[in-house]
């Protein structure tokens, strides 16, 4: 797929790999940039004339559902690419001192559940031939004992992407 004049939704756009993806696509694509940090998103948008920024905390299901609805409701808009890039890793193990279940829930929501929610919301609004890109960790193929929860989430995302690729 040539990435010229494409309409792209990108999660995790305010920093890291997502920010670099946005900058790389800025000249040729219309971008819908989702991120948690409003200040970083606004700073990024200054350099991206064809971009709109959307504050969305992917750890909060209600916000993910709302952003999916808002994107889907854009007048006569179809999307060419959905890049699900946002991810976090909180290295803590069940049973360890200081284990925080809310932090674990947040990680799972960002890394996996938000992807499922956005794909479900956006599928009817993707053009024929559109692509869904699930940015994932190598942990899905090479697990690490230090981050078992992240390994499981990466594997789930891998399986989900395989299932999506088999859709007719």
SS3 state at 33: strand
129-139 burial code (b ≥16 CB/10 A, e <16): ebebebbbbeb
Closest to 29 in 3D by CA, of 2, 3, 1, 52: 3
Between residues 27 and 167, the one the model is more confident about = 27
pLDDT the model gives residue 157: 64
Whole-structure pTM value: 0.84
**Is the distance from CB of 134 to CB of 87 less than 8 angstroms?**
no
Q: Please, which residues have CB within 8 angstroms of residue 126's CB and are 6 or more apart in sequence?
A: 78, 79, 80, 82, 132
pLDDT tens column, 106-127:
888 888 889 889 988 998 899 8
79 or 147: whose pLDDT is higher?
79
pLDDT given for residue 168 in this prediction: 44
Report all structural domains of the chain as residue ranges with CATH numbers, in order of start: 6-136 (3.40.50.720)
Computed over every residue of the chain, the mean pLDDT equals 82
Whether the predicted pLDDT of 97 surpasses 90: no
Report the chain's C-alpha Rg in angstroms.
16
């Amino acid at each position: 797929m040539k990435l010229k004049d494409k309409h792209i939704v990108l999660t995790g756009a305010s920093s890291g790999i997502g920010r670099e993806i946005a900058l790389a696509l800025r000249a040729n694509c219309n971008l819908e940039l989702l991120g948690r940090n409003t200040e970083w998103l606004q700073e990024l948008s200054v350099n991206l004339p064809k971009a709109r920024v959307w504050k969305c905390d992917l750890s909060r299901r209600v916000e993910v559902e709302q952003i999916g609805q808002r994107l889907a409701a854009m007048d006569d808009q179809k999307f060419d690419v959905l890049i699900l890039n946002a991810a976090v890793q909180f290295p803590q193990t069940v049973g360890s001192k200081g284990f925080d279940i809310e932090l674990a829930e947040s990680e799972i929501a960002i890394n996996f559940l938000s992807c499922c929610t956005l794909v479900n919301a956006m599928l009817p609004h993707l053009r024929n031939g559109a692509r869904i890109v699930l940015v994932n960790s190598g942990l899905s193929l090479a697990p690490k004992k230090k981050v078992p929860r992240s390994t499981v989430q990466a594997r789930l995302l891998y399986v989900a992407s395989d299932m999506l690729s088999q859709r007719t």
